[in-house]
């Protein structure tokens, strides 16, 4: 698999996923990593995140736009 990041912008959040290592991250346009965090996947399924108490809806939308699955427990 080519080492190409998947990325999308949802409002002020950028979502980036590295498919080759099942990791991604998100950042806020104005607040950077203060409103950002890491994303961990098993295959196409989000299994964990960090950085914020609650995963922003824009980040969930971005993950799904990139073809990944976010379980209801993260909403």
* Contacts of 10 by beta carbon, 8 Å cutoff, 6+ apart: 58, 59, 61, 62, 65
* pLDDT of amino acid 33: 78
Checking if the pLDDT of 74 tops 60, the result is: yes
* pLDDT of amino acid 34: 86
Grade residue 71 by pLDDT with cuts at 50, 70 and 90.
very high
Q: Residues 14, 29: contact at Cβ < 8 Å?
A: yes
Which tens digits make up the pLDDT trace of 6-52? 999 999 999 999 999 999 999 999 998 789 999 999 999 999 999 99
- Look-up: residue for tokens 């965090």? 37
Checking if the pLDDT of 2 tops 80, the result is: no
């Amino acid at each position: 698999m080519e080492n190409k990041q998947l990325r999308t912008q949802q409002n002020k959040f950028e979502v980036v996923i590295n498919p080759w290592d099942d990791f991604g991250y998100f950042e806020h346009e104005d607040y950077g990593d203060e409103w950002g965090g890491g994303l961990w996947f098993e295959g196409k399924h989000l299994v964990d995140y960090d950085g914020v108490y609650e995963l922003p809806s824009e980040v969930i939308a971005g993950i799904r736009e990139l073809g990944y699955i976010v379980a209801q427990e993260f909403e």
